[in-house]
Amino acid sequence: MLRNIKLLAILIASLIFIIGCSSDASSDEPKQTEEANREATQEQEEVNGEEEEHRIISTTVAITEIMDALDLDLVGVPTTYKELAPRYQGLPDVGRADQPDMEIIKSLNPTDVLSVTTLRTDVEDYYKQTNTPITFLDLESVDGMLESILYLGEKYDRMEKAEEIVAKFEEQMKEIEEMTKDKEPPKVLILLGVPGSYLVATENSYLGDLARRAGAINVFPGEDGVEYQSANPEYLQQANADVILRAAHGMPDEVVKMFDKEFKENDIWKHFDAVKNGRVYDLEETLFGTTANLAAYDALLHLVDILYEDAE
């Protein structure tokens, strides 16, 4: 009997030892699996977050230049003959800003597509119909551009860079004010040419904003936020501007030839004081775009030179 009791005690002790070892092993396995799963989930979240932060498409050159200044990557850029920053070389072209290639844009899975408010009515439906995220930036004036830069800086964690850009521009604008404050303001007529036709740029346009900042008086201030308006030469002559500024857009070389032909063959232009006095200037497109851009200060310096070239 005693022998049987000893054997039973040994058997129970062995069983407890085996169960204990088995329990320890099984408790370690879930911990290791749980840790591995947690690490994998964290890595996937980081990848997804990075993709969402950087899958931005720019549809205009001006916006692309701003994104470069903010040190932000893109996954798509506008179709343009202009040279973009090296960091964007080789990226897919997504079409012109007013005619976006939605098939390419959708294939890039963007988290944000950047366009301008001046094109909202032209392109907004494209993005709505394809359920594509779109942001319209106000580049209709220098102030609008600076606000847009701050908006992008806050949205994409580049606030320090954005504030630096804005602060520099504000100092430059003060410099322009000092240069022109004691000068007699000239009256200007601003013509925006596109292949085959031209419009008058009012004070509400970016070109009008530049002229105002340079101290000039636009003979067509515009009403109700109208940026451009049509007008025949006979009507324009009544304004009798001191200076005529001709801005070429789209195909600048062809537009300049169009302007030259118009001013040569239409006799009405001979009666303009600006033409009589040789105060007609063609604005370089790289400096004078239709929307605000980072070349605004250089454009203003050039504009001040030509507006006051006869001033003492």
CATH of 54-172, one of 3.30.565.10, 2.70.160.11, 3.40.50.1000, 3.40.50.1980: 3.40.50.1980
Q: Does domain 182-307 have CATH number 3.40.50.1980?
A: yes
Report whether pLDDT(21) > 80.
no
pLDDT value at residue 42: 47
What is the average pLDDT score of the chain? 85
Using one digit for the tens of pLDDT, what is the confidence trace for 199-212?
999 999 999 999 99
Q: How distant, in Å, are the alpha carbons of 2, 17, 175, 294 from that of 161?
A: 88, 66, 21, 14
Q: What is the mean pLDDT of residues 138-160?
A: 97
Structure tokens at 235: 């009507």
pLDDT at 54: 74
Work out the pLDDT band at 39, boundaries 50, 70, 90.
very low
DSSP calls for 39-75 = HHHHHHHHHHHHHHHH-EEE-SHHHHHHHHHTT---S
Q: Are 189 and 239 in contact, with CB atoms under 8 Å apart?
A: yes
Q: What is the pLDDT of residues 80-129, one digit of tens each?
A: 988 999 999 999 999 999 999 999 999 999 999 999 999 999 999 999 99
Examine the pLDDT at 245 and tell me if it is beyond 70: yes
Q: What is the dihedral of CA 135, 81, 190, 99, to 10 degrees?
A: -40
Lowest average pLDDT, out of 14-18, 71-75, 219-223, goes to 14-18
DSSP result, 193-252: EETTEEEEE-TTSHHHHHHHHTT-EES---STT--EE---HHHHHHH--SEEEEEE-SSH
- The phi and psi torsions of 201 (rounded to 5 degrees) equal -90, 120
pLDDT band at 155 (very low <50, low <70, confident <90, very high): very high
- What value does the mean pLDDT take over residues 126-155? 97
> Model-level pTM?
0.80
Cα gap 191→214, rounded to integer Å: 17
Specify the residue for token string 């294939």: 107
Give me the pLDDT at residue 237, please.
87
The residues spanned by each domain of the chain are 54-172, 182-307
